[in-house]
Structure 1
Amino acid sequence: MSDPTIATTSEYGVLGVRDESRAGRFSLDRYPSAPDLAGLVERYWVVSWELPPGRESSVTLLPHPCVNVVLDRGRLTVHGVGRDRFTYAYRGVGGVFGIKFRPAGFQPFLRRPLSDLTDAVLPAEELWGPAAGDLADRMVAAPGRRIALVEEFLRERLPPHDPQVELVQTVVAALLHDRTIARVDDVTEMFGINPRTLQRLFQRYVGVSPKWVLRRYRLHEAAAVLAREQHRPWAEVAAELGYFDQSHFIRDFTAAIGMTPVAYAQACRRMEAPVSA
């Protein structure tokens, strides 16, 4: 990417408002990647939790349009773009470590269309062989060095430069940050890209369509605003995010989140787990 300091994924995606008296301690920490990998890796994330013995809780997430490589229970897995929300149940004391690649950032490692991974989870060994299992073992043995171990592993397998990756990431960054973009046609006009070409680029490098990415980013923001400002009129939020058809916003929000904007805000006010997958 021409400027790897520009975010291509939001910091939203965890749904609802958590009540730690019921859900226990739950934290999400994010760490930047090294500058030489920042064009492909957006960041690293660590989720940790602590629950009283015998209690179980869960967190529901609305995924980003990017690949995550996840260390969970001692195994590394590759998670393609997930189009549906999902719920992760946890108990006791534990944690999960993840590598969040930028949209298009994982395709050079995969070397085939990223749409092959959409809604799929693969053992990392399927992509990198026994070395992935060895990396997982070393990360478990030295949790304080997980990022250093991952970056060493990725540098040894760094793919050749692909200018298409930069182009797609520039488009994705515009979808995330530019409020003047309300439709995919705005993107094709802004970047002078043929609509068919844009669709093919996103299927190969992102795994989902540009329309899906735009909608997901706006719904991430809508859910975050309604959780934070629970008494704010949802129609005002919708208009602010470029939804001028209120029924369209309600349909998109309900399909992605699992309840209407009003019901979601009410559940957040009550600090209830508002949705599950």
Structure 2
Amino acid sequence: MLQIKSRKLINLRTLYRPTQPTIKAENRDISYLEIQPDPYIEKFIYCFWQLKTKLPLGVPYTYRVVSDGCIDIFFSAKKSAENFVMGFCRKYTEFSIGKEFNYIGIRFLPSAFPILFGIDARSLSNQSQELIKILPELSQWISTAFNPSCSFENVTNRLNERFKQIIQQKPVNPDQRFLKALSLIFDKKGFLDLENDIDTGLSPRQLRRVFNHFIGTSPKAFCNVVRFQHILNAKPSKESLKENRFYLDVGFFDQAHFIKDFKNFYGVTPSQAFS
């Protein structure tokens, strides 16, 4: 049954790679790791991630999360009762997370969280909330399933099994017109005419409504994030940005427009990000 229902959900991970900045070399006492989920749940979850200190830091660390179009659940490995959900963000977000930490997260592919849990993504956008207020049963399970001695691998194994159970218990019936629109946006790297290039049977008003529900923002705002993520995945250097100016290929009018949007999504200029 699950396999039949899951065929209705496009495997978005083949179309889109939501990327977060890597930890810079000078931060050698901090590690960031990603583990891919079990193939059984990969249409919903892009990765499990861990951000942790290897040694206590001299000063509190500020972690920057850039716009990626995803919804994340995250919790402290040392105190898993502290678990949260973070919705779609229109701009970068910074967190001061102290001198010693070990956070583990679940990054859902765009639209997967609302499809799986029936939550309106708009209620989560541009904020972090306690998971117990959104999904109390899952929050309570996370609170009791892990202890501070669990390895990241052990945690992800348990998360894989838990989400297999969740998916088995819930029907997956996404709006195919919405999924087709989402696929077109990914295929065009976010650079398309929303009025004319998305012919899925949804009117512009309907398209805005379903995007607000499943993504947490308008189609236009989501396209801007997809363009930004396309540039991140290209991993340009400062030199190649100046010479090739490939940001023009995805609809930025000029360098000033590109820099302004990039800084909004990343928190620093392209030159600083790719130095």
User: Which shows bigger deviation, 116-125 or 134-143?
Assistant: 134-143
Equivalent residue for 1:229, pick from 237, 243, 257: 237
The answer to whether the 8 Å contact 1:171/1:187 transfers is no
Q: Does the alignment pair 1:160 with 2:171?
A: yes
1:252 CA drift (Å) = 2.3
CA-to-aligned-CA distance 1:112-139 (integer Å, 9 cap, x gap): 4211111232222223325523423322
Which amino acid in the other structure matches residue 143 of structure 2?
A
Over the residues paired in the alignment, what is the CA RMSD in angstroms? 3.0
- Relative to structure 1, the CA distance from residue 69 to residue 30 in structure 2 (aligned partners, 3 Å threshold; closer, same or farther) is same
2-structure distance, mates of 1:120, 1:180: 23
1-structure distance, mates of 2:52, 2:272: 27
Which amino acid in the other structure matches residue 215 of structure 2?
V
What does residue 50 of structure 1 align with? 54
What does residue 256 of structure 1 align with? 265
- Relative to structure 1, the CA distance from residue 61 to residue 187 in structure 2 (aligned partners, 3 Å threshold; closer, same or farther) is farther
Equivalent residue for 2:194, pick from 181, 184, 187: 184
The answer to whether the 8 Å contact 1:179/1:242 transfers is no
Equivalent residue for 2:64, pick from 56, 60, 65: 60
1-structure distance, mates of 2:233, 2:138: 39
User: Which shows bigger deviation, 103-112 or 136-145?
Assistant: 136-145
Q: Does the alignment pair 1:217 with 2:226?
A: yes
Equivalent residue for 1:34, pick from 38, 41, 45: 38
Equivalent residue for 1:70, pick from 74, 78, 89: 74
Give TM-score, length-normalised by structure 1. Answer: 0.78
Which amino acid in the other structure matches residue 258 of structure 2?
F
Q: Secondary structure at the match of 2:185?
A: helix
Q: Secondary structure at the match of 2:101?
A: strand
2-structure distance, mates of 1:60, 1:180: 23
Equivalent residue for 1:121, pick from 128, 145, 150: 128
Q: Which runs of 5+ in 1 are unaligned?
A: 270-277
1-structure distance, mates of 2:172, 2:273: 46
Q: Secondary structure at the match of 2:111?
A: coil
Q: Does the alignment pair 1:87 with 2:94?
A: yes
- Relative to structure 1, the CA distance from residue 19 to residue 211 in structure 2 (aligned partners, 3 Å threshold; closer, same or farther) is same
Give TM-score, length-normalised by structure 2. Answer: 0.78
User: Which shows bigger deviation, 55-64 or 6-15?
Assistant: 6-15
Q: Which runs of 5+ in 2 are unaligned?
A: 1-7
1-structure distance, mates of 2:141, 2:37: 21
The answer to whether the 8 Å contact 1:62/1:220 transfers is no
CA-to-aligned-CA distance 1:187-245 (integer Å, 9 cap, x gap): 424x45322221111011111111111111212343565x7411234471321333244
Q: Does the alignment pair 1:103 with 2:110?
A: yes
What does residue 19 of structure 2 align with? 12
1-structure distance, mates of 2:198, 2:88: 23
